[in-house]
Chains A and B, each alone.
Chain A
Amino acid sequence: MLQHAILVLLLPLASAAIIALFLRRAGGAAAGLATAVAAAIAAIAIILAIHGEPFSASMEWLRLGDFSLSLGIKFDDLAALMLCIVGIVGLCVHVFSLGYMHDDPCRGRYFGGLSIFMFSMIGIVLADNLFMMFIFWELVGFSSYTLINHFHEKQSAADAAKKAFIVNRVGDFGFLLGIVACYWLNGTVNLTELGDKHVFSTMIPLLLFCGAVGKSAQLPLHVWLPDAMEGPTPVSALIHAATMVAAGIYMLCRINVLMTPDALTVIMWVGTATALYAALCAITQRDIKKVLAYSTLSQLGYMVAAFGLGSTHAEEAGAAVLAAGVGAAMFHLTTHAFFKALMFLGSGSVIHGCHHEQDIFKMGGLKAKMPLTFITFTIGVLAIIGMPFLAGFFSKDAILHLALENNHAVFAVLGFTVILTAFYMVRLWILVFLGTPRSEESAHAHEGGWSMTLPLVLLAVLSVLAGYTSLYGHLFDGVWSLIPHEEGLLIPLIGDALMLVGLTAAWVLYKPAADDALAQKSPGLFGALGALKASFDKLYDYYVAKVQQRFAMLLNFLEQVILSGLIVRGGAGLAGLFGLGARAAHVGSLHAYVYWFLAGVALLWAYAAGVF
């Protein structure tokens, strides 16, 4: 099985290398190779999961003195689950890209980027220690950068890519510091060894959590994710919805044992705040991908909150924490990966059909033009808002259940977010698919080829079934057994009531709408939500342009004027002046030298006589 794991890691690296070296101009071959590799990854991932036995292996990669860094594989049910998600969604996205990117002149670069991403993501999943996780953590950041930057001639895409990388680096600053702290305080960064023995420290998990805040786009580092929608839509589905942004949650589950109650409280509130904030932002968006992006942020907030909630069962400091949070977070991560990838690919299908129109107020009536996309997208919408018997219903209930048990304030916020989620998703769904076409593009919309519809169907099936954990047999038992189960119907009833409130509100407001009804009926609220959304970007723009840049300019000014100018040039000038003075003393006249001589004698005498 170890060979399988190594193969699944190295296959995409080989694919990326071959594409970079030989297939840059052969887009079709590159696409075929990358897709074949993705299929192989999905197959091997499932084989590994079915085999199921946990195993681990590692190899020393660098040694200096007592410091040893190794690369290794830790395969257990958690890794198996994540690997299967990455494999299946990855395959769907590759196949979808065959159609979606068919006419792109830079297909080679695109598929090479996807392969690099698969390599890096699988590295995170299999990593057996934090240093290795950090290595691949940085590499997914790089692949995300390249793929967001795919349309690099667009200034907005270039800016978004840069922003994503830098914001993630801010999070990684804390992550790396946390890893270093963990190494010195615990003596190891190996995940298994940490489980056996570790010191009680709130600082370490919080520093490590910084990494998740960056990668999983939690407040206040969420700003890069909406901008990242500049990338091709399949990339948004794979990287910025289903897998990479979920890596933060996966990482938290990996280091579950290091958590302390205080750290968990912080994590819980960050997740809750993100869930609410992003849902509020999603309401006013006009761009189909931006709605989905904020929705992703909100759902990631749910997962982070779930993680923070569940594990606060810890009775006493340092004791083994209950892992209910891991169960709920990973469960929602799984269902979300499927229905959000489905909706992103569905939106890709819509955008492709509408000739790259992304404004939902210029769509409408696509139900008839794109029936398959309509049906699958509807399943996705129903799954995310928590319609009973679809995947999202079960996983969201697990989270709400945890919240009700542990913290009523969090439960209230998350419950309110359920209303918002139903509201913005149904709004999107009505505006895109119902009514009549509101633009030339949507009037002539058409369904894509098989490569674009097949992945939608597969993901739609998974969005229905993924919530029934009994269907998996014994696969991933190690994770599913952690999911908290409620007694009775209280939570489902509350959840569905809330969902219906949001759904109805959206239906009433947007069913007859051709323009943004909320903006017309309640401009104050609409404006406030818009301002809320813009607040962070404004703040950061202000910081970058007015604080950081000016401080850098000031330092540069001091460097050029004071250090290089006044001190160095001034010093040189002084030396020059001294030279001039010394030269003036050497006038070449014997009389002058005699006087200098006499002055010197006088000075010596004065010194000897003790005048000084």
Chain B
Amino acid sequence: MNLLLNPLFLSIAAPFAVAVAILCGLPQRWSKRLAYLGFGLPALIALWCWANFPANNGAEYAWFVRASTGLEGFGISLALGLNGVSLPLFVLAGLVGLAAGLYAIRSTAERTKLYLMLLLFMQAGLMGIFASEDIFFLYFFHELALIPTFIMVGIWGGRDRNYAAMKMTIYLTVGAMLSLLGLIAIYVKSGANTFDLMALREAVAAQPIAATAQKYAFGLLLAGFGILVSLWPFHTWAPLGYGAAPSSAAMLHAGVLKKFGLYGLIQVALPLLPDAARAHSQILTVLALGNVLVIGLITIAQRDLKQMIGYSSVMHMGYAFLGLVCFSTLGTGGVVLLMVAHGLSVALMFLLATSIHDRTQTFDLADMGGLAQKTPVLAAFFVAATLAGIGLPGFANFWGELTIFVALWNVSPWVAAAAIAGVVISAIYGLRAVARVFFGSPTPALNGVMAANPPADLSWGEKIPALILLIALLVVGFWPKSISTPLNAALTAPVATAKTAIP
């Protein structure tokens, strides 16, 4: 198929082209108008792909296209396609991107053009990550999305932005480097001399990678991806970075980009290095429980709303890692469900946290209270986002957590019990934050702020992005099959049937 007409390529090219146009000096007004296109087109394409995905063929790559890059000698080519695992995340990237983009276009950030340009580059990278079938480009698009994050934290960040930007850069660069080493190790040791994922899977199916090589490669990938996904105790960049990041950047990073590590583990590490993955499962279980229990308790102690959201996001990554160590379709499928759900809900939380800050001029939970009386709609959205985050049925998160809990029983009933205990912890910090911000009566300090600037309820500029995320959470929450059917097909299919690509 012609590359230029391929929907996946368009979803990457559209934001990229708009970003380049802004870089070349598009005037402000046109920058904003085109930015709608740059964020809207990928989201529409993602939804279209979701609706038209061949339902029971999740294992095959739909809309597959391969383009020459001139690097075929190294086994690198631009190969795009969606299978049942990448489809939900592709949709996630499109929707969160649209919400973050709309929020940014309507925001009053200084140097709006630069801000939008960086976000658009990021969006191109995000769509690329989940549309790439070639590991080299998987990594390339991740870097494309990652670098703008640092710049955005550094320029538009809040408190501690310099330290936060530096720490985030160092951690995430190290994480990316380690995972790159791991990917190269696979390239070398598989003997296939290709970065093409399907070719690699076939090669490994015929001749597994040697045990020692697997061990080192998986160790590198786990360390690298672990840092990127904020595995305990390599997580300290996350609350700090998200606390400082401007809202749209935090939405895109916490919501989508952070899922790259888990995606890499599911699509690359587990299928290609299965023996080493099992050998590492115990240590990973312990660290992931650290995410759930230790970070969970730390989240309770947070006083800053944004830090609290950051920590809660770190905690939920523990569930994702726990789902991986089940080594079952149920566990891995649960991880994908949770990735989508968490991405949507955490993005919604960051968006609403900024909206709260706009009205209270503070992120300090002790200085808030009673906001629901002034802004009932904002309160309703925030309560919904919190309930989604703590896994209430009806929201997508419930399915992710439930399936992981069920799968964990086979790892060990004790691990399952410890993980389920996290449900109580997340209810404590979630509802506590809701009560502090919205219920009871306002503090005197807040009364002063609100007297000077009477808070208005959510504007449409805030409501529309929030609605996009909330509706997606509810759709998956009420109709999980929309994701699980292609996902199940992809995860249960034997490798041999996965090689054909739908034109």
Contacts and interface: CB of A to CB of B under 8 A. Distances in A.
Interface string A129-141: 0010011101100
A564 B417 CA distance: 29
Contacts of A568: 167, 236
Contact of A549 (B294, B301, B387, B485): B301
Interface stretch (B133-141, B201-209, B399-407): B399-407
A162 B485 CA distance: 36
Nearest to A20: B380
Interface in A146-187: 149, 152-155, 157-159, 161-162, 165-166, 169-170, 172-173, 176-177, 180-181, 183-184
B423 A173 contact: yes
A65 B413 contact: no
A397 B189 CA distance: 78
Contact of A176 (B423, B440, B487): B423
Given A64-B334, A67-B406, A169 B484 contact: no
A275 to B, nearest CB: 27
Interface residues of A, number: 50
A545 interface: no
Interface stretch (B70-78, B356-364, B426-434): B426-434
Most chain A beta-carbon contacts within 10 A, residue among B236, B370, B373? B236
Contacts of A552: 297-298, 300-301
B333 A61 contact: no
Interface in B264-307: 294, 297-298, 300-302
B435 A65 contact: no
A555 B301 contact: yes
A53 B392 CA distance: 34
Contact of B392 (A139, A152, A157, A564): A139
Nearest to B429: A552
B148 interface: no
B427 A548 contact: no
Contacts of B435: 158-159, 161-162
A551 B485 CA distance: 43
Contact of B427 (A152, A154, A166, A181): A166
B441 interface: yes
Interface residues of B, number: 57
B159 interface: no
A520 B402 CA distance: 55
Contacts of A67: 329-330, 403, 406-407
B502 interface: no
A64 B393 contact: no
Interface string A558-574: 01000110001000100
A62 interface: yes
Contacts of B440: 152-155, 158
Contact of B409 (A136, A166, A180): A180
B373 A153 contact: yes
B297 to A, nearest CB: 4
Contacts of A180: 405-406, 409, 416, 420
Most chain A beta-carbon contacts within 10 A, residue among B302, B420, B481? B420
Per DSSP, chain B at the interface is helix
Interface string A50-90: 00000000000111111101000000000000000000000
B416 to A, nearest CB: 6
Given A62-B481, A183-B406, A549-B301, A177 B424 contact: no
A61 B481 contact: yes
Contacts of B393: 134-136, 138-139
B329 A172 contact: no
B480 interface: yes
Contacts of B297: 548, 551-552, 555
Given A155-B439, A170-B424, A176 B405 contact: yes
A169 B399 contact: no
Contacts of B487: 64
Contact of B431 (A154, A166, A551): A166
Interface in A534-568: 548-549, 551-553, 555-556, 559, 563-564, 568
A142 interface: yes
Contact of A138 (B392, B405, B432, B439): B392
B328 interface: yes
Contacts of A166: 424, 427-428, 431
Contact of B420 (A62, A177, A563): A177
Interface in B47-91: none
Given A180-B405, A181-B413, A548-B300, A564 B236 contact: yes
Interface string A175-204: 011001101100000000000000000000
A165 B431 CA distance: 9
A170 B423 CA distance: 9
A61 B393 CA distance: 13
B481 A65 contact: no
A556 B302 contact: yes
B491 A65 contact: yes
Contacts of B399: 62
Given A138-B398, A145-B431, 18 more contacts: A61-B480, A62-B480, A63-B484, A63-B485, A64-B334, A64-B484, A65-B329, A65-B333, A142-B387, A153-B373, A166-B431, A169-B424, A172-B423, A180-B406, A180-B420, A551-B297, A552-B297, A552-B298
Q: 6 closest Cβ contacts across the A-B interface?
A: A65-B329, A158-B439, A64-B333, A556-B301, A552-B301, A155-B440
Interface of B: 167, 170, 233, 236, 240, 294, 297-298, 300-302, 328-330, 333-334, 370, 372-373, 387, 392-394, 398-399, 402-403, 405-407, 409-410, 413, 416-417, 420-421, 423-424, 427-428, 431-432, 434-435, 438-441, 480-481, 484-485, 487-488, 491-492
